[in-house]
Copies of this chain bind each other. A is one copy, B any other.
Amino acid sequence: MKPLILVTNDDGITSLGIRTLVNIMKTIGDVIVVAPNSPQSGMGHAITIGEPLRLYETHIFEDVVEYECSGTPADCVKLAKNYVLQDRKPDLIVSGINHGSNSSISVLYSGTMSAAIEGAIEGIPAIGFSLCDFREDADFSHGIPFIKSITESAIKHGIPKGIALNVNIPAKSEEPLKGVKVCRQAHAKWQEKFDHRIDPNGRGYLWMAGKFVNFDTEKEDTDVWALDNNYISVVPCQYDLTGYKALKELENWNL
């Protein structure tokens, strides 16, 4: 039996990235799509509490069972597993291909990766794929063979317990990709700047903008280094946030 692959994303079901991912997954298994009906970038691990969800069948792809959902990427995974599929568990969950990087600290803000981590919580192998090009007509072609081989490896080996993979692909350039690097999450942050403007009614509003600040510039074992050097980065991400090394220090506080 072919593996059952659940595809979702955070840019919405009509984006080019999910279309590309669906086409790759159709060469590997049976595909079911449950994806947001609108862009959900930056939604992190949000779920819909206190409001109802809408779920409608769509007809965007060929030979695929597909639904759009009014909720977040994490909602989509929960709905797919516990409502749409119920009895059959997906063999794999893939999320993306995101239009834009989800490397380093961006993993926390990423709806793409939260869908994958939701898969890990359910004990299902899960991978989030992102391209370091946020344009809506981004060129995903150079990443396709790697996405296929990483997915096939994950099906073959299984993914370590409690882990989802965060795969980022450099934007297409004239230089071919050098390969794939297993990395850690670079220590970095976004340095925000807020742009204050006045609306036509005379009331103030703010746009959040920011620049990426990497504190790990010299380190070659990070995802940011890999991407800067034209490698695909693969970071194993865990949902156990416990800082085990800090437990001892806190014990000494004698709370």
Main secondary structure of the interface of A (DSSP, over half): mixed
Given contacts A83-B196, A184-B244, 15 further A-B contacts (CB under 8 A): A42-B46, A44-B46, A46-B46, A46-B109, A52-B205, A53-B208, A54-B204, A55-B204, A55-B206, A83-B206, A108-B121, A121-B189, A182-B247, A182-B253, A234-B255
From B82, B149, B194, B196, A193 is in contact (CB under 8 Å) with: B82
Contact B45 A194 (CB under 8 A): no
Instruction: Return 18 A-B CB contacts under 8 Å, by A number.
Output: A42-B50, A43-B44, A44-B44, A44-B45, A44-B114, A45-B109, A52-B207, A74-B109, A79-B208, A105-B121, A160-B243, A182-B247, A187-B240, A235-B241, A236-B246, A237-B242, A237-B243, A238-B246
| Interface contact A241-B185, CB-CB below 8 Å | yes
Interface residues of A in 148-164 (CB under 8 A from B): 149-150, 153, 157, 160, 162-163
Check if A39 is an interface residue, CB within 8 A of chain B.
Answer: yes
How many copies of this kind of chain does the complex include? 2
Q: How does the 8 Å CB contact mask read for A211-255 relative to B, with 1 for contact and 0 for none?
A: 000000000000000000000001111111111111101110101
CB of A117 within 8 A of chain B? yes
* Given known A-B contacts A44-B46, A250-B182, A243 and B238 have beta carbons under 8 A apart: yes
Q: Out of B41, B78, B83, B182, which one reaches A255, CB within 8 Å?
A: B182
- A132 on interface, CB distance cutoff 8 Å: no
A78 touches which of B149, B179, B192, B204 (Cβ 8 Å): B192
Within 8 A of B (CB), among A136-193: 149-150, 153, 157, 160, 162-163, 165-166, 179-180, 182, 184-185, 187, 189, 191-193
Selected from B105, B192, B205, the residue in CB contact (under 8 A) with A82 is B192
